[in-house]
Structures are given as structure tokens and as C-alpha cells.
Amino acid sequence: MTFDDLKARAASTDNIADLFISEPDRLSRMAHRIGPIRADFSKQRVSLDDLEALLALADAKHVKEWRAKLFAGEPINVSEGRAVMHTALRGVGGEAVADEVTAMRARIAVFSNDIRASGKFDDIVHIGIGGSDLGPRLVADGFAATLTASPRLHFANNVDGASVNDALAGLDPKRTLVIVVSKSFGTQETKMNAESVRDWLAQAGCSPRDHVLAVSANRDRAIAFGIHSDNIFDFWDWVGGRYSVWSAVGLSLAIAYGPDAFSQMLDGAAAMDRHFRDAPLKQNIPVLMALIGVWNRNALGYDSLAVIPYSRRLRKFSAFLQQLEMESNGKSFGRDGKPAGLTCPVIWGDEGTNGQHAFFQWLHQGTGPNGRGGAPVDFVAVLADHEGRPEHHRALLANCFAQSKALMMGKSEAVVRKENSDRADIDSLAPQKMFPGNRPSTTLTLDELTPSAIGYLIALYEHKAFVQGVLWGVNSFDQWGVELGKVLADTILTELERREIGDHDPSTKALIRLAC
């Protein structure tokens, strides 16, 4: 089975709505549950036979073998010679590091409880960017569905001074704990924000020893930066930044929401790990999600995926997934150095229902590179109401379910003509008011937005990204594509500081001149 075979199959793919008629057991075969998550793939434009072909592709691309390598802790990040063991942080696989992980989890729990019991801090400022920021921010919002942060949690990520200013606004330095999170401890934004916050503390006479912690895989750099060695929480080079929320990178979550919530999240992720490791591929939710994503990308030719959480508490989910999926699989060349073909689509989205009043027009009627229009959608909904407003919650869910139905069913030109038969301009109006339908989506429902369910959800997409990396033949665990801009930014920063314009193209020179 090859991508070309899939493309040939897709050329004759049916209408989704018709598939429910020709495949009476479609829903039961395409909706699967694990723990609090139910994944309904039945509104995808893929027949059960197509799914068999996709499972054959998984075999042809050795998904099971790669999955075994992942859990065995083999160095599958070949370009950096590293193992990939974020599942070991949840206690699944990576036995070689189990003791270190257990010790770190215990240290996080004891430390978090001590800080919470001490009552010394009202606020935590978490400084970090990319993988050292997106996961903790997503989870902090998610935990707020069922828990209250105490101390309160603030984030400074961007090098834009507004980021650190917003994070510190109204805070009392004497009652603030600062956690600097950087795997490399070499990231410009994080170091600059940490310096600014250190100055802010110093002006109030607060010592870094009492107020600043670091989380890093590079202890030496953290010490060189001036962090006391007792205040450093380590993590390891086998944890990729975008897979690191399960490590001490989540320390601020454990302090603010309690170590029990943090552990429950890890346990939820572990349950998803075991499902991914053990379930047959045809019932394996991350595998099916990955295969359907590849179908949409490589067979149907979609170039983006919209992820729409119908949950305000998950509104950062698409931003989180942009790093998880696009940094993992946004690559042109495979592990073998050969062109990889079409890989990761653009991931984008916003919370529902807000998006309905903005870009959903495009999802329903917009054009696309494949002539099919729009983009596939992952809808994510939480069944329980955590806000004590059942009428709002029913409306939220009604909108979510209505959108996936509308995308699939559309509204024919004939119906539009009937409804507007009195209009003289019906010939020009009808095509504008009709909905083509047959637009694919997946609906994920979570019973409740508990810490455990959040663990399940994030781990689901981690494994999806892993499987897609295997199918596309890329190394999902490096990110060389972010380096060039960083190096150039350093050069240009020096020029801005010295007011000296170096050797650049005319456009870049003109921009530097404007800022000098």
C-alpha cells in the first residue's frame, strides 16, 4: 500500500452521508472509547474499505515496529542520537530511566506541597517559551475547569516587553515565586525575561535564592545564569520540549493546582500510552486518527486541519498542537535524507462557538487546493458542565454537534431554490446560498474536563503525531527548521545595539535602518 494507491482510491470516494447508508455498522466501527474520551471518526470522508487500506499502509510503513522502538527507549531521534521517552515520565516504557523519573515525581510532589503549605507566595510567574510554555499554559487553563490555582499562575513567554509586563502587573515581588523553564537554558526570550524579572525582584530587595527556581536539562547553564543549584529541577535530553509538560516543566502546575492533579494528568496520559501500545491498530484511537489525517492530507489533498475545542478551557489547544504537530512533522525530507512528499498540514483553530462567527464561513463554503474546499475539522467537546450554567452548556454542545452535521450534510441547491422561489435573482443566488457538504470531521468528546482527561487528550495527539511521522518517514523529534532565524536574530540584535548595519539584502537593511 502506497500514498499513490490511497490517492487512486480517494478519487472515487463516496459522499459521507451516503456511507452511513451503505455501511450500516459504520458508527460502531468508527467510534471508539478509551477512558473518558470517545472518538467518532464516522463523519470522515473515508469508507470502511478505505480504512482497511490505511491499516495496510500502517503495516507497510512498520508502525508497530516503530511503536515498539518508542516504548523500548531506542534512540529513534536519529539526527540528534537520542531516545524519545516522554511516556516514561508517565511510568510507561523506558524502564532504564524509571528510577530517575520516580525520584523526580516525588521531589515535585514534596516540593509543591511544601510551597503550598508555606503560604509564602500568592503568585507564580512561569517564564518559558515553545515547549516550555505551551503545554503548561494549556493545562493551567484546563485544570481551572475543576480546580482553583493557589498560588495564582502567570506566564511570560514572548521577548516582547509586554509579555513580562503583563505577567508582573499588580504582583508583589515579596510574595512571588519565579520559575524559569528552559530545556536548553540558552533561549534568548526566556533568558531576557528571566533577567528582567530578576531585576524586578532585586529592586524590591528579594534574593533569587528565595524566589527563583529553574527547570532545565542544562544544569550548568542554569547555574552560570545565577540560579542556585538547590533551586534547579532537572529534566533530560530524552524529553523533547514539546513533549515535556509531564516532566518538571509542569512544576508550576503542580504547585498552583496541587501535585495530586498533576499526578492524575500523568496517570490519564499513561492510560492512553497503554491503549496506544496494546490496542489492535483497527481500534487504536491515536493510530486511526493519524491514518485518517494522512488520508485527508495525502489522498484527499487537504493542506490544513482545523482543531476547534468547544471548551473555553481548551482554547489554547490548537496553539499547543501547532507546536506538537507542525514542529514534529513540518518537514520536507525523511530520515533517509530523501524528499518526504506531503507531510504535516497547517494546524489552526480557535474556540467554538467564537470561530463560527469568523472563519466557519470558509469551512462551509471556502475553496481549497484540492477542489474539495475548506479543511477537515477536529471538534473537541466536553460533555459535563463545569461552570454551573447548564443552559450555556447545552447551547455550546448544540452548536458543536450542529456544525459537524452541517459540514457533512450541506444544503443542496434544489432546497435553496425551493426556499427562495420568490426571488427574481434565484439563478445567481442559489449557488451562493447552497452548502456543498461532504466536508469531513472527527468529534472527540470528553466526559469531563478532569486533569486525567486532559492527560488522555494530550497523549492522544502526541501519539497521533508520532504515527504520522512514521507514515511520512520523517524524524518527529528534531526541529532544525527553527535554527536559521535564531542565528540571524542574534546577528541583527548586535547590529541594532551597536547601530551598525551589516551585510544584508536591501529589504533587511532598510528594516534595520528604521529601527536604529
> What is the set of active-site residues?
327, 357, 486
- b/e burial code for range 144-163 (CB count within 10 A of at least 16 → b): bbbbebbbebbbbbebeeeb
The span from the CA of 345 to the CA of 291, in Å, is 13
Neighbour order of strands in the sheet with 123-127: 152-156, 123-127, 176-181, 212-216, 232-234
| Residue 132 or 443 having the CB closest to ligand G6P | 132
| Residue 55 or 159 having the CB closest to ligand G6P | 159
Minimal distance, residue 327 CB to ligand G6P, in Å: 6
| Residue 245 or 407 having the CB closest to ligand G6P | 245
Residues binding ligand G6P: what is the number (CB under 6 A)?
14
Minimal distance, residue 132 CB to ligand G6P, in Å: 4
Minimal distance, residue 107 CB to ligand G6P, in Å: 20
- The closest of 280, 307, 300 to 458, measured between CA atoms, is 307
87: Cα within 13 Å, side-chain hemisphere: 29
Minimal distance, residue 348 CB to ligand G6P, in Å: 18
The span from the CA of 294 to the CA of 465, in Å, is 11
| Residue 240 or 451 having the CB closest to ligand G6P | 240
Single out the segment in contact with ligand G6P by CB under 6 A; choices: 11-19, 155-163, 181-189, 407-415: 181-189
372: burial class by Cβ within 10 Å (0-12, 13-18, 19+)?
buried
Single residue of 184, 188, 354, 491 touching ligand G6P by CB under 6 A:
184
| Residue 129 or 206 having the CB closest to ligand G6P | 129
| Residue 163 interacts with ligand G6P (CB under 6 A): yes or no | no
Angle (nearest 5°) at CA 494 between 492 and 499: 90
Cell of 323: 507546536
Q: Is the dihedral of CA 239, 335, 307, 49 positive or negative?
A: negative
Minimal distance, residue 360 CB to ligand G6P, in Å: 31
| Residue 91 interacts with ligand G6P (CB under 6 A): yes or no | no
| Residue 132 interacts with ligand G6P (CB under 6 A): yes or no | yes
| Residue 482 interacts with ligand G6P (CB under 6 A): yes or no | yes
Q: What secondary structure does DSSP assign to 207-276, as a single string?
A: -HHHHEEEEES-HHHHHHTT--GGGEEE--TTS-GGG-TTTGGGHHHHHHH-HHHHHHHHHHHHHHHHHH
Binding mask 452-481 for ligand G6P (x = CB under 6 A): ---------------------------x--
Q: Say whether 77 sits in a helix, a strand or coil.
A: strand
| Residue 439 interacts with ligand G6P (CB under 6 A): yes or no | no
Single out the segment in contact with ligand G6P by CB under 6 A; choices: 65-73, 126-134, 135-143, 348-356: 126-134
| Residue 344 or 444 having the CB closest to ligand G6P | 344
Single out the segment in contact with ligand G6P by CB under 6 A; choices: 130-138, 339-347, 362-370, 387-395: 130-138
| Residue 129 interacts with ligand G6P (CB under 6 A): yes or no | yes
Cell of 188: 534568548
Single residue of 91, 93, 94, 130 touching ligand G6P by CB under 6 A:
130
494: burial class by Cβ within 10 Å (0-12, 13-18, 19+)?
exposed
| Residue 136 interacts with ligand G6P (CB under 6 A): yes or no | no
| Residue 188 interacts with ligand G6P (CB under 6 A): yes or no | no
| Residue 183 interacts with ligand G6P (CB under 6 A): yes or no | yes
- The closest of 481, 477, 72, 479 to 243, measured between CA atoms, is 477
Neighbour order of strands in the sheet with 377-382: 31-34, 37-40, 441-446, 377-382, 304-310, 346-348
Q: Say whether 372 sits in a helix, a strand or coil.
A: coil
| Residue 182 interacts with ligand G6P (CB under 6 A): yes or no | yes
Single residue of 91, 93, 131, 208 touching ligand G6P by CB under 6 A:
131
Binding mask 221-260 for ligand G6P (x = CB under 6 A): --------------------xx------------------
Q: Say whether 420 sits in a helix, a strand or coil.
A: coil
- b/e burial code for range 255-282 (CB count within 10 A of at least 16 → b): bbbbbebbbbbbbbbbbbbbbbbebebe
Q: What secondary structure does DSSP assign to 434-461, as a single string?
A: -B-----EEEEEES---HHHHHHHHHHH
| Residue 181 or 407 having the CB closest to ligand G6P | 181
Minimal distance, residue 290 CB to ligand G6P, in Å: 21
Minimal distance, residue 133 CB to ligand G6P, in Å: 8
Residue 394 CB partners (closer than 8 Å, separation 6+): none
| Residue 330 interacts with ligand G6P (CB under 6 A): yes or no | no
| Residue 157 or 441 having the CB closest to ligand G6P | 157
Q: Is the dihedral of CA 7, 8, 14, 19 positive or negative?
A: negative
Single out the segment in contact with ligand G6P by CB under 6 A; choices: 22-30, 36-44, 123-131, 171-179: 123-131
| Residue 10 or 129 having the CB closest to ligand G6P | 129
Beta strand 176-181 with 37-40 is unpaired
Single residue of 77, 190, 247, 329 touching ligand G6P by CB under 6 A:
190
Minimal distance, residue 126 CB to ligand G6P, in Å: 12
| Residue 187 interacts with ligand G6P (CB under 6 A): yes or no | yes
Q: Do 299 and 2 contact (CB within 8 A), yes or no? A: no
| Residue 143 or 477 having the CB closest to ligand G6P | 477
Q: Say whether 393 sits in a helix, a strand or coil.
A: helix
Minimal distance, residue 191 CB to ligand G6P, in Å: 9
The torsion defined by the Cα of 387, 388, 392 and 394, in degrees rounded to 10, comes to 100
Positions in the binding site for ligand G6P (CB under 6 A)? 129-132, 182-184, 187, 190, 241-242, 327, 479, 482
